Amino acid sequence: MLIEMHGRFAPHQAIEIARAVERFQPGWLEEPCRPDDLDALALVARHTPLPIATGERLYSANAYRDLFARRACHIIQPDINQCGGLLEVKKIAATAETHSMMVAPHNVGGIVSTTAALHLMAGLRNGFLLEHFNDFVDEDVKQVGAPYPEVVDGHFALPGGPGWGIELNEEYIAEHPPVTVDGVIQDPGLNMFVDGDWNRRGR
């Protein structure tokens, strides 16, 4: 069990929650405080034995530098799509290793994002786990390429074949362009202000 706190709490509240859930031995507390308040995060980390995970809203190696210096977490969650790409995240992960921190890439993307993250994980000594929304993705996602990475008994197989090891179905992608409103691409899975079951990604 991993507890997502989504940066919603002041440190004293996060510490209170951590104490309340310690007996359930969750694998981590994720983003207990605002992602840009690293001192608050470090304060929580000092007051609970539970591992702290964070990083899906840190967007460069420089942002991670301060996190490392403060020892403000135990597990980092860089997102390859939002954090400068594969090589930047590799650099961040290698620095995390020198601080005895583990890596659990934030990954809510499709076949390319997940496959790239699997290649990254295969090359890390401090890789912990890979986030994945296999059971909640939009129906189209699994049609855009193959083989689609699937979790079997809690594990992914490493991608095989040349390159990334996947083939995109460009015809299907061209036939299913994203929905836009006023030029902004819509995320049908996260429309939390319309769908009552948004937390199930609309399925």
Kindly indicate which of the ranges 53-61, 88-96, 145-153, 170-178 contains the residues binding Mg ion, using the contact rule CB under 5 A: 53-61
Nearest approach, Cβ of residue 167 and Mg ion (Å): 29
Q: How far is the CB of 30 from Mg ion (least distance, A)?
A: 5
Pairing of strands 184-185, 180-181: antiparallel
Pull the structure tokens for residue 100. Answer: 């005895």
User: At its nearest, how many Å lie between Mg ion and the CB of residue 199?
Assistant: 13
Query: Rounded to whole angstroms, how far apart are CA atoms 43 and 69?
Result: 14
Contact 18, 47 (CB under 8 A): yes
User: Is the CB of 8 or the CB of 12 nearer to Mg ion?
Assistant: 8
Q: Under a CB-based contact definition with an 8 Å cutoff, are residues 90 and 117 in contact? A: no
Q: Which two tokens stand for residue 78?
A: 């860089």
Find how far residue 76's CA is from the centre of its chain. Answer: 9
Q: 159 or 189, CB closer to Mg ion?
A: 189
Q: Which is nearer to Mg ion, 42 or 104 (CB)?
A: 104
**Least gap, CB of 109 to Mg ion (angstroms):** 13
- The residue (of 96 and 104) whose beta carbon lies closer to Mg ion is 104
CA distance 132 to 113: 10
Stretch that binds Mg ion, among 55-63, 64-72, 136-144, 156-164 (CB under 5 A): 55-63
CB of 200 to Mg ion, least distance (A): 16
Q: Do 47 and 15 form a contact (C-beta atoms < 8 A)?
A: yes
**Nearer Cβ to Mg ion, position 56 or 166?**
56
Contact residues for Mg ion, defined by CB under 5 A:
56
